[in-house]
Amino acid sequence: MTTAIRAPAVSVVPGLGARVKDAALAAFVAFVLLAPILGMETVPGPDGRLTLDFHFDLVAIGALGVFLGRLALSFALRGRPLARAAAGPLSVFVSRYGNWLGVAGLVFALALPLMPFSSRYVIDVATTLVIYVMLGWGLNIVVGLAGLLDLGYVAFYAVGAYSYALFAKWFGLGFWACLPIAGVLAAVAGILLGFPVLRLRGDYLAIVTLGFGEIIRLVLINWHEVTGGPNGIADIPRPSFFGFPFTRNPGEGEIAFHQLFGLEFSTMHRVVFLYYLALALALVTNLFVLRIRKLPIGRAWEALREDEIACKALGINPTNTKLTAFALGAMFGGFAGSFFATRQGFISPESFTFIESAIILAIVVLGGMGSQIGVVLAAAVIVLLPEIARELETYRMLFFGAAMVLIMIWRPRGLLAHREPTLRLHPRPGGGGS
């Protein structure tokens, strides 16, 4: 109640003293950070051992730059916060034209390989992007809808990838046969993890899922006989076009893809096929999530995120509800994992480190927790920014990090924080009030 009678929004313009103090504080923080990063350099000494070189001039320039920048920023903003309200024009636009945006995006995605600027590099990056979108949508079930902070999502990605690799290698199963197996195994892993830990909440759950992700990675490294340990699994069967391989010289009795369609052999065929495969998998994920949000279980996830106690009072079994979220989220991670394995042809525990979980989680949070289009935008930012910044070379990741920080300052609740209601009531004849 008290918030309603807050003073009218007269922005309090801070005095010069306050601004200088604020800028000085920022400069101090910058100094502490820059001292080891810019100020010290290891160089080989005369006897071949490393010695430290100090560059205090660089640190001073950096801190001074931050001081002046911060001061300029405070004058430019005149006391207004940098963060925009959650329902900014972007959110409103997307909620109004979301369907058209989705259709336009889909048409663009379908036409991408035919575009004049399309090249092997473009298709490769696009495939990576689509896979991250799919992973984001999968994790969105767990984090965005059910509100369970999962820091170990990459574990399910790994389970899916290794499932495909092992079943394809040892049992000669094709991609389409392995895909459901990978999904089921990942879902089982999700339930195995979920069962003991779902009574935990918030931070505690996050820590345990983090641990689970590491356990899976360590098992992959140490279980030599099955996973090949740190060497990983190589020569994973590449995908075929429903039984027609993408090879120049098919084996005895086989017909290759290019022969089937009477085309000139090109390595691009496989790249484009993989792209469409990823797109199809991502679309299935999206349709599934859009549909399930409108079913009782999906609504129960969202309710659970908002108020677990209320859910219990309404006859919802929170454990089962969370387990389904975990299992289904894991399943899509598993699908994405088996695609990853068939695309790369080689997998090792290196590919499934914590940073992957962090990136996928960043996509969901940056997208605005629960927004499907938000995930696409965020995945585009996270996958494309480092590509765009390639020319910055050494400073690429610094640029990437700064961009992420800026986005979160600009939109603290994610790019699209708007939540679309799951049902609307048709106006009822004689119902009144509609």
Residues in contact with another protein by CB under 8 A are 1, 296, 299-300, 302-303, 306-307, 309-318, 419, 421-425, 431-433
Nearer to another protein, 63 or 416 (CB): 416
Nearer to another protein, 72 or 314 (CB): 314
Least spacing, CB of residue 83 vs another protein, in Å: 19
Nearer to another protein, 103 or 310 (CB): 310
Nearer to another protein, 4 or 10 (CB): 4
Amino acid at 370: G
Nearer to another protein, 209 or 324 (CB): 324
Nearer to another protein, 314 or 388 (CB): 314
Question: Residue 143 in contact with residue 305, Cβ under 8 Å?
Answer: no
Q: 202-222 vs 154-171: helix axis angle to the nearest 10?
A: 30
CA neighbor of 206 nearest in space, from 218, 217, 215, 198: 198
Least spacing, CB of residue 428 vs another protein, in Å: 8
Per-residue burial over 10-29, b = 16 or more CB atoms within 10 Å of its CB, e = otherwise: eeeeeeeeebeebbeebbee
Distance of CA 198 to the CA centre of its chain: 22
CA triplet 427, 431, 434: central angle to 5 degrees?
45
Quote the CA–CA distance of 193 and 205 in Å, as a whole number.
Answer: 11
Q: What are the backbone dihedrals phi and psi of residue 368, each rounded to the nearest 5 degrees, phi first?
A: 105, 40
In this structure, the number of other CB atoms found within 10 A of the CB of residue 54 comes to 11
Nearer to another protein, 11 or 320 (CB): 320
Quote the CA–CA distance of 311 and 52 in Å, as a whole number.
Answer: 59
42 forms beta bridges with 52
Residue with tokens 């001039």: 57
Longest dimension (CA), the chain: 94
Least spacing, CB of residue 305 vs another protein, in Å: 8
Quote the CA–CA distance of 215 and 238 in Å, as a whole number.
Answer: 28
Nearer to another protein, 258 or 413 (CB): 413
Least spacing, CB of residue 190 vs another protein, in Å: 22
Least spacing, CB of residue 297 vs another protein, in Å: 10
Least spacing, CB of residue 310 vs another protein, in Å: 4
First-to-last alpha carbon distance for the chain, in angstroms, is 30
Distance of CA 49 to the CA centre of its chain: 42
Least spacing, CB of residue 261 vs another protein, in Å: 49
Least spacing, CB of residue 271 vs another protein, in Å: 42
